[in-house]
Structure 1
Amino acid sequence: MATAAILTPVAPPSAPTFGTTPAAQPPPGQPDISYHPNWETYQARVARRTQTENLSKEIPEGFPKELKGDLVWEGETVAKEYKWTYTFTDEQLEDINNALAHFNLALNIAKGYISQETFPLPKTHDELRRLSRELHFGHGFFVLRGLDVDRYTREENIIIYAGISSHIGSIRGRQDAYYDGKRADVVLGHVKDVRSTTKIKIGSPAYTADKQVFHTDSGDIVSLFALGTAAEGGASRLASAWRVYNHIAETRPDLIRTLAEDWEAELFTKTVNDTDKVSRRPLIHHQPASTDGKTPERVVLQYARRYYVGFGALPRGNHIPPITEAQAEALDTLHFLGERFSVSTDFQKGDIQYVNNVAVFHARDGFRDTEDQQRHLLRLWLRDPEYAWETPAALSERWERVYGGVTPELQTFPLEPPHPLGMQKDPARWQRHRNCLALTDENFTLGSRVGEEDGLELWCYVVVSNGYHRV
């Protein structure tokens, strides 16, 4: 039998847990696991499996026993070797203001056309390109500091954010394929607690004050711009997926096998040409070193816990099998090791954070807003065609949904977090369908399209990665 995991005991998470959303209803046969990890349940599962199962002592063939490089770091030591906060100089801030004026006044074109050419930064560009290289070949994250968001309007802040980001990753990814019920490439997301502004139940932790467990977003680079910070809590936490991989490979190689197998994920979103509501792919992907020596061996991590356990009003459906005990242990192992090796970036108002989304995963402490101080982040998914890593074959379809066919004309940058519009054709008729939500009904259950009644299409709106999607 395998030996127990070599995992230094730590106390249950002490980070703020404001506004904990009730757990999603588990499907039949699901292991004892929910979105918010439970340390005692995890330790009991580790003990049970290591004592009763014949667990593999070998990692999958071809996978590395150990990853090396700047991407392997721990929160306790990374600050001693790497200064991740870059503060703009006065000259660079003037550069940004000049670019804003050029885009707004000289060009006066749609925001979808924001680029290095239309938002020129001659005094800042080279430094931003150096930082993009750090994302891809260095420690995998950095923070830009020095912007005074109160000096600008909401629209100006968005233009500045997209403009600066175009010098780091010139390709913006699609976070939603619909806006106000119409086809659009929504490339800007809002991360904010919206529970006080609506009665509807929430299906994504991004729209609550809950602690958000370790996960990745979609795409190569995930960026967040802090328009406002919480009155208490809300720290952004990052962890090296490579450091976590090394620990698991050394202590529990069977879990590397589990993570490298296909998992069935619940898809809660509708994007362009989506038909399947289930995704089957591994959580980790091995990329051998190139024969010319230019590209090192890599392991890519891509997952979000809620796709396997649900969250709030969006449970994992009964149409797919429950996850296994091994998968439940693997999910908890990723999270608790992420916490153990994590660093807080001390996210402040006006900061812009950039993260290599395939090598560094992230989490957020729970938080508390007040009337005068509220946490509000803007989000971009980016890709740098010069430095981008090769996309694993198993992720190519997902990457195509994010980056494929995004056009300047359809790019949309919402000024505020999306709000459900309800059934516009016939609200009264919509309210009778209990598997759709109604703005006047607090007891809805989120679901999918329910068909037609008297020729009228009936739709539900569900909360997914960016707001409320028609599915």
Structure 2
Amino acid sequence: MSAKSSMESIRSDFSFALAPDKLAPSVDGPMVWRNSELDPVRYLYNLTTAEVAEIRLAVIHFKLSGLARSDISKETFPLSEQLSNKLAGFSKELHSGSGVVVIRGLHSARFNDEEAVIAFVGTCAHICPERATDSYANQTLSHIRDATYEKVPHWAKDIGLAGSKITDKMDFHSDRFSGDVLAMHVRNDGGAGNGGEQFVASFWSIYNALLEKDPAALETMAEAQWPFELKQKDQDPYLELGPTLFFSKGKPMCQLVKAPLLGGAHIPRHPSMPNLSKEQLHAIHVVEETAREVCTQLDRQQGDIQLINNLSVMHARAAYGMTNNKPSTRHLLRMFLRDPKNAWDKPVTFRHNFDDPFTFGRPQEIPVRDFDPWRKISGRESHG
């Protein structure tokens, strides 16, 4: 396959039912980085003492309003124009900069669990005002934690624990059709020596490398023949075919996630599902191999808000273990976001898949605690 001309690629707003005729040309800009080129200085913002106090006041304001957490917005979580504009500016860095932002300093506020959720959701509302909510459990905020020691109820025995509830390592992936921006809040990093280190890799760097050394792998990714297994509560899973690589206006977008393609120890793949082709297995291998070559470890501290472009930056984590011979205390909050002002255009054929989590009016569940790691959405398709 020869590369598209730059102008053709820029004008493209099309996703292909099968493979595209041509791959988009190599990409450049600040979203193309390797290893230490993404220095924390580029993506880390330290909140001032005054800004932390301002966020705390906004939390108190919201609690006194008596509104439901699903009503958190820029208007109901008021910040000064200066801080609000600063937070909004991070969206530009996520969409046209490096694709990674870390906001540091909220640990000093010493929030309780409820306040931490409100602070996380409220701060993010000033960056990307739209929150993704799945259509199966109305889940907007989820808890990344160790649930492997909890007794599995009978009704959930065939669902399995989602990747967010187990301690295994996760290879590089982008969460499929979950949202434009992945947002996480580090409530507890599990302590020194507990593992769980996080890594990010520029998919644009991966794309450029594979375009040069293995374009066939990219062609395979762009084919809408990947057999995703979508789990359902009390029903057999069903098969959904689609690509793992999309193009829109010159931007390659990765939506490669392994759990619904390969299954795992905690979420086995149903025997009725087809196996991946040797070309698909090869593509998974070379993407992972290249991601490891270009990745960097994310600088993490307690209280951080981490924001990652879920279309152009792949993420991974190391396995983590027990804390003092007990289930790990590692605990992150997670949401998926969109900023309509800076959001990338989505390919036409799969636009509904990208847009569905942001369906207007859908009830939003934003739980302070995670009492149900086996909810019907667990392991459905996206994460890990």
State which of 173, 196, 218 in structure 2 corresponds to 1:256: 218
User: Following the alignment from structure 2 to structure 1, what is the Cα–Cα distance between the partners of residues 377 and 62?
Assistant: 35
Show the counterpart of 1:187: 140
Matched, 1:206 2:167: no
Show the counterpart of 1:219: 179
Show the counterpart of 2:69: 111
State which of 404, 407, 431 in structure 1 corresponds to 2:359: 404
State which of 24, 31, 38 in structure 2 corresponds to 1:64: 24
Matched, 1:345 2:305: no
Matched, 1:266 2:239: no
Show the counterpart of 2:261: 308
Show the counterpart of 1:356: 309
User: Following the alignment from structure 2 to structure 1, what is the Cα–Cα distance between the partners of residues 130 and 372?
Assistant: 27
User: Following the alignment from structure 2 to structure 1, what is the Cα–Cα distance between the partners of residues 268 and 237?
Assistant: 17
Show the counterpart of 2:86: 127
Show the counterpart of 1:79: 39
State which of 123, 141, 145 in structure 2 corresponds to 1:164: 123
Which residues of structure 1 form unaligned runs of 5+?
1-58, 179-184, 289-296, 422-459
Normalising by structure 1, we get a TM-score of: 0.69
User: Following the alignment from structure 2 to structure 1, what is the Cα–Cα distance between the partners of residues 381 and 63?
Assistant: 27
Q: Does the 8 Å CA contact 2:182/2:307 hold for their aligned counterparts?
A: yes
- What is the one-letter code of the residue matched to 2:354? W
Q: How much does 1:94 deviate?
A: 1.6
Q: Does the 8 Å CA contact 2:229/2:381 hold for their aligned counterparts?
A: no
> Does the residue aligned with 1:322 lie in a helix, a strand or coil?
coil
Q: Does the 8 Å CA contact 1:176/1:466 hold for their aligned counterparts?
A: no
Show the counterpart of 1:384: 339
Show the counterpart of 1:247: 209
Show the counterpart of 2:350: 395
Normalising by structure 2, we get a TM-score of: 0.84
Instruction: Indicate how the Cα distance of structure 1 residues 365 and 353 shifts in structure 2: closer, same or farther if over 3 A, else same.
Output: same
> Does the residue aligned with 1:256 lie in a helix, a strand or coil?
helix
Instruction: Identify the structure with bigger relative contact order (alpha carbons < 8 Å, sequence gap 6+).
Output: 2
Instruction: Indicate how the Cα distance of structure 1 residues 193 and 381 shifts in structure 2: closer, same or farther if over 3 A, else same.
Output: same
Instruction: Extract structure 1 runs of 4+ deviating beyond 4 A.
Output: none
User: Following the alignment from structure 2 to structure 1, what is the Cα–Cα distance between the partners of residues 217 and 21?
Assistant: 14
User: Following the alignment from structure 2 to structure 1, what is the Cα–Cα distance between the partners of residues 83 and 26?
Assistant: 37
Which residues of structure 2 form unaligned runs of 5+?
1-18
Q: Does the 8 Å CA contact 1:100/1:159 hold for their aligned counterparts?
A: yes
Q: What does 1:369-380 align with in structure 2 at a 5 Å threshold?
A: 369-371=322-324, 374-380=329-335
> Does the residue aligned with 1:222 lie in a helix, a strand or coil?
strand
User: Following the alignment from structure 1 to structure 2, what is the Cα–Cα distance between the partners of residues 465 and 364?
Assistant: 20
Q: Does the 8 Å CA contact 1:172/1:187 hold for their aligned counterparts?
A: yes
- CA deviations 1:41-70 (Å, max 9, x no partner) are xxxxxxxxxxxxxxxxxx954423311111
User: Following the alignment from structure 2 to structure 1, what is the Cα–Cα distance between the partners of residues 61 and 377?
Assistant: 39
> Does the residue aligned with 1:66 lie in a helix, a strand or coil?
coil
Q: Does the 8 Å CA contact 1:149/1:157 hold for their aligned counterparts?
A: no
Instruction: Indicate how the Cα distance of structure 1 residues 266 and 391 shifts in structure 2: closer, same or farther if over 3 A, else same.
Output: same
Instruction: Indicate how the Cα distance of structure 1 residues 400 and 462 shifts in structure 2: closer, same or farther if over 3 A, else same.
Output: closer
Q: Does the 8 Å CA contact 1:239/1:341 hold for their aligned counterparts?
A: yes
User: Following the alignment from structure 1 to structure 2, what is the Cα–Cα distance between the partners of residues 283 and 136?
Assistant: 20
Matched, 1:286 2:286: no
User: Following the alignment from structure 1 to structure 2, what is the Cα–Cα distance between the partners of residues 155 and 286?
Assistant: 40
Q: Does the 8 Å CA contact 1:299/1:359 hold for their aligned counterparts?
A: yes
Instruction: Indicate how the Cα distance of structure 1 residues 197 and 315 shifts in structure 2: closer, same or farther if over 3 A, else same.
Output: closer
Q: Does the 8 Å CA contact 1:175/1:466 hold for their aligned counterparts?
A: no
- What is the one-letter code of the residue matched to 1:225? H
More helix by share: 2
Matched, 1:155 2:114: yes
> Does the residue aligned with 1:128 lie in a helix, a strand or coil?
helix
User: Following the alignment from structure 2 to structure 1, what is the Cα–Cα distance between the partners of residues 232 and 174?
Assistant: 16
> Does the residue aligned with 2:240 lie in a helix, a strand or coil?
strand
Q: How much does 1:420 deviate?
A: 6.3
Show the counterpart of 1:7: none
Q: Does the 8 Å CA contact 2:230/2:381 hold for their aligned counterparts?
A: no
How high is the sequence identity, in percent, across the aligned residues? 29
- CA deviations 1:79-99 (Å, max 9, x no partner) are 18x521101011111210121
Q: How much does 1:275 deviate?
A: 11
Q: How much does 1:320 deviate?
A: 3.4
> Does the residue aligned with 1:124 lie in a helix, a strand or coil?
helix
User: Following the alignment from structure 2 to structure 1, what is the Cα–Cα distance between the partners of residues 163 and 237?
Assistant: 23
